[in-house]
Structure 1
Amino acid sequence: MRPVRFLLPGTTGRFRCGGLLVELQSARLLAELVPTQLVTYRQREPAHPFLADLLRQEAAPGRALWIVSWGFDVPRLLARLRGRPVAYHAHSSGYGFDLPAGVPVLAVSRNTLGYWGDRAPRSPLLLVPNALEPKWLERGRRHGDGERPIDVLVQRRKSSAYLLKQLVPALRARGLVVQVQEGWVDDLVDLFNSAKVVLYDSADYWRGRGVSEGFGLPPIEALACGCVVFSSFNHALADSLDPGVLGHQIGAGSLAGDIERIEAAAADPDRWRPTPAALAPLLEGCSEAALRARWASALAEVNGHWDRLLAGEPPLHSPAPWRLRWGQGLAGLGRHLVRLLPTRRV
């Protein structure tokens, strides 16, 4: 197995976000399987090598498998890494770029897997969902159900104007304790374990940006902490949140309907929580042990693929959509003309 290098723009300051934490967690898990290294390419950091330095020092193809992931940076990074083993760790979809032939895709959700299954059907496609850190699976470790002081918890980032400007004021007017969290929180597990209901509505956020919700960890984190979840079902959220079973739709037709259901859930969370039988498979599939096993299988596939390419096997190519449409149009026109020709009698 090749050593692995995760490419990140940086690991501190403005690069600190949920996507960074997921990549750092993935790198930590892979370090248990193969030698793993973090490499930065925008911000020089004393603790990590810098991409430009490594490319000057090492001729292609090198020994390592490079993992790229950072949205709009992916095409430029793949161009810089041409000739080297590389894979795309795909989170959000919809950025609009295409992948060079032969670049494997490590998709974090079925939604993203389906996107690349359409856009790059001849590339190796693998599913490696994100994982919950073990602390999230210790449900209710800080607060018992009767001691949760927050009726409704909302994270401001990605939340819709409907949620913040209509629903939250309406719930407060009904006397519910609603906390809107913003900024960085060092102990999110404690915060989630203090809430009865968590609201998550990212559909407008992602629609406005033209890309997708890549995985949607916050609702799963809330479920792991014993919260009742009301969420949008856009993109990868539909992978995990079965409406009425694991979560409940937010913005389901009317403001009055939302208020009625959320108020009822805060008053009697047990009635609105998913059953243990429904929740257990989701949390088990999101465990670090499950993800480590998926990464081991995916790395074996990717390494075997690059062994073949570096030995001279050409990668498969998929025709461009315009070629497919043109060819299918010509074939249809040919069939139509044949039907118009007079039939010769024998």
Structure 2
Amino acid sequence: MGEVLAAEKVPVGPRDLVAPGRSAKIADGTRIAVRYARPLTLTVDGQKRTHWVTALNVGEAFNDLGVRYEGARTSASRSVGIARKGLAVDVRTLKSLTISHDGTKTPVSAPVLTVGEVLARANVKVDADDRVRPALSSMVQSGSTITINRVSTRTTSANLFLPYTTIRKTSSSMYDDQSKVERAGQRGVKRKVVETVYVDGKKASARIVSQSVIRKPVSRVVVVGTKDRPKQETGGGGGGGGGGPVGGGVDSLNWSALAQCESGGNPRAVNSAGYYGLYQFSVSTWRSVGGSGNPIDNSAGEQTYRAKLLYQKAGSGQWPVCGRRLFS
């Protein structure tokens, strides 16, 4: 056979197909067929490989190579012929995948190559903020799952109060037990803008975008006196003892012990609940027994005298905690 081909100047290469075989003996009338090999370049799911085939069309070449590619998408139909110079064919095989998104799972079966193509085939839309795993440009394999997390951003603003400070000033024109508010304090206001990121509806993170003070705090100014208050002694007695006599055994009670219990023996004692002096009078009770002004503006003796009058009027129950000290 080879001698005949050589004599007829029919070139054949090692990949070419000759029938009958090259070493076969021939007789008169024998038909000799030569099918030349040609390159078929297949790019299957992005992987390129060149095959030398003697098939005359794509379908025959697939059969010779033992590949079926059922359900695949090819750039050339199986009936397309393969010329001597060769042919390039792009093949995307059929893949079965699952898209996990929006609380559901969507199955996809299609000849696709990348994640983006899978989503397009399933008509599942994503925006620039959404998280897609694997990435849109990633190649896919059959049986894999694509996960989409929906991401949204919300911007909110809130006003926060800024505390004010207190400035204390002294005045020698005021007694040391006196004070006054020269200027009321005012809280400041700060506006804060926060950006919150939600993933699939759940808060994932938050960051402060901006902060600005829209009103500065105003300090409170308090003036306190430094001048010593002069001691006043009227009606006799001091430190809770003595006071003008009222008779009836009242004068002999232990008024010093009562004063010590109520105020620590301090005629200038002030309770924030509205009680004053040695015996912690309210102003209304003080005046009910003939006192004038505020008890702390009166001497210890005067306060004791008014306390005796109160005892004569209402008994020791006026001092529910310390009243028993009168009898110690």
Do both share a fold (TM > 0.5)? Answer: no
Hey, which of these two has a bigger chunk of strand by percent? 2
Larger radius of gyration: 2
Hey, which of these two has a bigger chunk of helix by percent? 1
User: TM-score when scaled to structure 1?
Assistant: 0.20
